[in-house]
Amino acid sequence: MDKKDRQILRELQRDARLTNAELAERVHLSPSPCLRRVRNLESAGVISRYVAIADRKVAGYGLTAYVQITLSRHERDTVNAFEQRVRETPEILACHLMTGPFDYLLEIVVEGLEAYEALLRTKLHTVSGIATINTSIVYGTIKDTEELP
């Protein structure tokens, strides 16, 4: 990626609905080379998808929790069962395999505390092999972006 590709990426991260003409104007290219660069970024996997980012609170998800999970054992069946449950649970926005004192870090959004408790009881507590669940509730956000630097 060169400087021009990074400019294109920055503009698309800010507004993926730009027309090619608008994008080309913002990055000071003519439309054809601009479109060619966008297609190259897509085919190289730099741009993996286009999404609409919803405001969580406005959409009804007033509680965000970061949840640290430690498994009691790391056998294939235990790991597969846990990871499958994560994939089937839409409230879990992200799941990261971690180094350090816990195995996974989950980002979860729900309507509120009652919904979070219900999710724990019906989705996570039912997976065998989970040793610990530690929850941190977000009560304010200083920065939240999907834009790469």
Q: Across-strand partners of 127?
A: none
Q: Distance (Å, rounded) from C-alpha 103 to C-alpha 129?
A: 12
Strand arrangement of the beta sheet that strand 130-137 belongs to? 92-97, 104-110, 63-71, 130-137
Q: What is the CATH number of the domain that holds 37?
A: 1.10.10.10
Q: Residues 81, 21: one domain?
A: no
Q: Model confidence over 40-63: pLDDT tens digits?
A: 999 999 999 999 999 999 999 999
Q: Distance (Å, rounded) from C-alpha 144 to C-alpha 131?
A: 30
Domain that holds residue 72: 63-137
Q: Residues 75, 25: one domain?
A: no
Q: Model confidence over 6-16: pLDDT tens digits?
A: 999 999 999 99
pLDDT of residue 41: 98
pLDDT of residue 42: 98
**How many structural domains comprise the chain?**
2
Q: Which residues of the chain have pLDDT under 50?
A: none
Q: Residues 37, 76: one domain?
A: no
